[in-house]
Amino acid sequence: MSNMMYRAAVLSTIMEEMERDPNVVVLGEDVVGGMGTEGGPEAIGGIWSTSTGLYDRFGATRVIDTPISESAIVGAAAGLALSGKRPIAELMFADFIGVSLDQIWNQIAKFRYMFGGKTRCPAVIRMAYGAGYNAAAQHSQSVHQILTGMPGLKVVMPTTPADVKGLLRTAIRDDDPVIFLEHKALYATTGEVPDDRDFMIPFGHARLSRAGGDVTIISSGLLLGMCEAVADKLKGEGIGCDVIDLRTTSPLDEETILDSVEVTGRVVVVDEAPPRCGLGADLCALVAEKAFSSLKAPPLQVTPPHTPIPFARELESAYLPSVDKIEAAVRRVLAWR
């Protein structure tokens, strides 16, 4: 095991897979890493420092700087995938998927189905998402609910460096298109990761990060740490919380969720996306439909309001879920009679 930053787990996994498979290629804006900066062209390694050293190691035919055009990046990734390559395309911000939706929604997500399973499109589209940096409405969004609703895509949201290693490797080796969402506020977090270069985590397998028995809390990404903090606090009061880290939203690990709810009978879903037609609403509907007889209280969502993300620090803090909001929701379902 090694202690590693989240961003380093991204980089090292890409490096290892490029060394293992010559068909793996990387493309995106500034993935070469900051030409003209002090320390050489790769001193930065892209805006998130997740491509440092790739160009020097693999050259211009496998590490490709692109124009500022998300539609071109994803379109090129689709063409590469259909031609036998395994592209890893980076979009600097998930907010910019709008200009590449035709390539994602109508092309890469549908190729296998439109041609009767006779073709494949093994493209990985990496995106940084999430708020917390006061980057305003166009650079702070969580878009997983949009992408999860597109059949044909696998959607991954790793929380820990170990999950980054296992899930990204699985994504790169998968024969279907994968959306890999990395929360910006997690890039500098650290954790233990396996040294095994074949370490993989299968999609559709959630992680139980806390085990209790009184209430089920479901989340992923940055907000999972808040859920764990609430669980740890309530444990001191004799209240046990199951905290489920989804890891992937498509495929979804329904079994882990429903098994927990059958025991606890109480559910709180914590999500960074707005509530309407979102992941939180979908999970509440899942529980109501498939575990209704086990419920002791209505399922609750903790989400931002249905508004664009504000810029001011105080407003953004008020907008986002927080430890206090999550704790209040948990106490509310526990008090239901």
Q: Which residues are catalytic?
A: 139
Q: How far apart are CA 229 and CA 270, in angstroms?
A: 13
Give all strands of the β-sheet with 300-302 in edge-to-edge order.
Answer: 207-210, 241-245, 215-219, 267-270, 300-302
The pair of structure tokens assigned to 334 is: 């526990």
Q: How far apart are CA 225 and CA 240, in angstroms?
A: 16
Burial 149-167 (b: 16+ CB within 10 A, else e): bbebbbbbbbbbbbbbbbb
Exposed / middle / buried, residue 334 (Cβ in 10 Å: 0-12, 13-18, 19+): middle
3-state secondary structure of 180: strand
The identity of residue 63, as a single letter, is: V
Give all strands of the β-sheet with 248-250 in edge-to-edge order.
Answer: 63-65, 24-28, 86-91, 124-129, 178-183, 154-156, 248-250
